[in-house]
Chain A
Amino acid sequence: MLDGFYKLLDQNVRHLLLIVPELLVMAGFLLGLIFDCIAPEERRKSTAYICLLFLVAAMWVNVMDWNGIAREQTVLKMVKEVPKDPHRPIVYRSVPVQVMRSDALFTGMIARDTFAMYFKFVVLLGTAVSLLMALNARELAGPNRGEFYLLLTATCLGAMFLSSATNLLMIYLSLETLSIVSYAMAGYLRQDRKSAEAGIKYAIYGAMASGIMIFGMSYLYGLTGSLDLTGPSGIAAKWFELRHAATPSMQGAYLAVLAMVFCGLLYKIAAAPFHYWSPDVYEGAPTTATGFFSVVPKAAGFAVLVRVLIDFFPLGSTSHFGGLTRMETTIAAIAVLTMTVGNLAALAQSNAKRMLAYSSIAHAGYMLAGLSALDDGLGPAATLYYLLVYLFMNLGAFLVLVALENFRGSCDLKDLRGAVRREPLLGVTLVIFLFSLTGLPPLAGFTGKYLIMVKLAERGSWFLVLFIGLNSVISLYYYMRLAKAIAIDPPEAAATPSEPTPSVFNFLAAGQVAALVLLFVYFEPVYNICKGVLEPLK
């Protein structure tokens, strides 16, 4: 009776070898934890190096893995060759075997496909950059600093699993890993009133959203009898059967169940009306954490959103029981709402951090607009491309903000005035990041917006195109306010002497600017990759 179980156990252990990046991050977390417990206070900075080492190793393995899957599509497998002539020995030969486009690991818990690997790459990159930021942020300095790096790493692990999750339980679990650890990060500055407030607000709001989501999931499970999304007896397959046999009134109920599930995902990417938490959390959390929140969990959220969306509304089926168009309209409406709310609210902010928080809501709106074009892969591909660009420009902006906050002590616009005089390179790169966030050429922010708008225009969603254009104009105003404060306005008072800015900031900022220019000049291959990684979902 237990034979099946042992087989399963065996298979699971073998599958462990296929999630080396995750294992590496996990090892980084655990080793870092041990080190942090035993190391003396002044050596706790090294925790970050341990985590960073494993993150980079994970990134490397991930890229190699990706390369293997994407280029070869085959693996070598030993086969037994029995010759017809009985006198000749039996030979074992390795032959190339076609790999399934999407390998389901751990009995369908996670998928091993290029889509997940793309997002894992983004997530790992974002975490590594955030880790370097955290290492040099003054507000995080203190005897307990090591824990922050550990929390970052644990969040990254959740994001990685979320990128590849294909099972409701796995989605819920990794989403919660992402969330629960984030709450602690938001409330990390326990002496700070705002940080504590941010933490508790984040926790309550997050619990609320995941509550709605799992309530929806329970119905999904009840209806289909499965927790797997894909597969022949999975939710998606069963779902189509059900929908096929459904009356119009049942259609609405099905969509309502699905909408509840999507609540939890939309909350993660801070789409309206689930964006309420984000400005408060972004303002109260340590600036490093804010930069991290605005990129990594959002990327993972988009990963699972795209995956679930495409599972339920496959690409290429232009009208699936009429549901697709309704779904598209819904996404478009959310997108318009999100970008408008984000940009309008950002207009009046006087705190750079909160301004960027609202702006990142708006960017989620742009990306959702790309997702609303589900007829072929191009809309989501543009969103994926935008996400990579967004990683560089938003994280870059926060990076500079952390550096400026280190010696100005605050992110208020009036305190940041004339910062370019003290840090010319960082000031200039911040302006470049802001240009890119606005979507001005010759930076990749332009390409991202352009790709999304072209796709939308192609299928006649002129309304969305118009809104993206209008919103870009609005955003120009407040981005330029920040740029003006930093680059043009004179500094308020005589600069207080403080430690010099670590050169790692200069390096990272310059690297990210280079990436933005490169992604603008050389966008085609990256866009092709984005198109390619959507293939396994089709």
Chain B
Amino acid sequence: MSPTADILFWMVMAVTIASAALVVVAKKILHAAFALSICFLGVAAIYVFLHADFIAAVQLIVYVGGIIVLIMFAVMFSSHTQEAGGEGGRKVLALGAGAATAAMLFTAIMLIISRLQQPLHEANAFATQAYQHTAGITGQDLAAETPRLGLGHILMGEYMLPFEVASILVLAALVGAVVIVRKETRG
């Protein structure tokens, strides 16, 4: 194992988790939005660690470049009021309930992972056997590693139908979003 890669990996992990936590607890919604963008960057980096360069790029473009902008836009548009207002008791209650629920769900997820450790391991042993060292991997290695066709071919081949459906979906969502925000031309 390459220690550099390890350290980098843990740093990315830490930043991602910390910024995600900031999304939850930030007082101002604008701060939360900034934290979210950092979190998305972290996730993109994680994708790179997972050899999913294309996904990482898409994550950058769509999430950081698109969704975050949308969110910022909405925040700017609507939040001249800050979220901090309201009674403190309600706030504590909300935080407590959220924390408790999230903790329960997290426990459940961890339990699932731990119970299914063995089958998960068996099903996903590929990398640990074949690629002990991920740092310093070359493009040729990647090509050898993906003997089958690339993502684009898969999208147009096996996943053609979802691809088409998704395009229709995006179009319909666009129509829906436009219909909601468009000004009535009459009355």
Chains A and B are bound partners: yes
B87 at the interface (CB under 8 A from A): no
Partner of A161, one of B109, B165, B175, B177: B165
State in angstroms the CA–CA spacing of A344 and B120 once bound together.
44
* CB closest residue in chain A, given B164: A26
Asked if A253 contacts B111 (CB within 8 A), the reply is: yes
Asked if A183 contacts B176 (CB within 8 A), the reply is: yes
The stretch of B7-15, B26-34, B130-138, B152-160 that contacts the partner chain: B152-160
Partner of B149, one of A2, A105, A148, A170: A2
Asked if B179 contacts A188 (CB within 8 A), the reply is: yes
Footprint of A on B, CB under 8 Å?
108-109, 111-112, 115-116, 118-120, 123-124, 149, 153, 156-162, 165-166, 168-169, 171-173, 175-182, 184-187
Asked if B108 contacts A190 (CB within 8 A), the reply is: no
State in angstroms the CA–CA spacing of A154 and B179 once bound together.
14
Asked if A177 contacts B180 (CB within 8 A), the reply is: no
State in angstroms the CA–CA spacing of A254 and B115 once bound together.
9
Asked if A180 contacts B124 (CB within 8 A), the reply is: no
* CB closest residue in chain B, given A174: B165
Asked if A173 contacts B116 (CB within 8 A), the reply is: no
Footprint of B on A, CB under 8 Å?
1-2, 4-5, 8-9, 12, 26, 29, 33, 41, 105-107, 109-110, 142-144, 147-148, 150-151, 154, 157-158, 161, 167, 169-170, 173-174, 176-177, 180-181, 183-185, 187-188, 190-191, 199, 215, 219, 222-225, 242, 246, 249-250, 252-254, 256-257
Q: Which 9 A-B pairs have the closest CB atoms?
A: A184-B176, A253-B115, A154-B172, A8-B157, A106-B161, A147-B179, A177-B169, A109-B161, A107-B158
* CB closest residue in chain B, given A172: B162
Q: Which residues of B contact A157 (CB under 8 A)?
A: 165, 168
Q: Which residues of B contact A154 (CB under 8 A)?
A: 168-169, 171-172, 175
* CB closest residue in chain B, given A107: B158
Known contacts A41-B185, A188-B179, A223-B120: does B115 contact A1 (CB below 8 Å)?
A: no
User: Shortest beta-carbon distance, A108 to chain B, in Å?
Assistant: 8
Known contacts A187-B180, A188-B179, A222-B120: does B172 contact A180 (CB below 8 Å)?
A: yes
User: Shortest beta-carbon distance, A186 to chain B, in Å?
Assistant: 10
Partner of A8, one of B109, B112, B158, B185: B158
Known contacts A177-B165, A222-B120, A222-B124: does B149 contact A5 (CB below 8 Å)?
A: yes
Partner of B162, one of A142, A169, A242, A256: A169
Asked if A256 contacts B168 (CB within 8 A), the reply is: no
Q: Which of B169, B171, B185 has the most CB of A within 10 A?
A: B169
Asked if B116 contacts A223 (CB within 8 A), the reply is: yes
Asked if B180 contacts A150 (CB within 8 A), the reply is: no
Q: Which residues of A contact B165 (CB under 8 A)?
A: 157-158, 161, 170, 173-174, 177
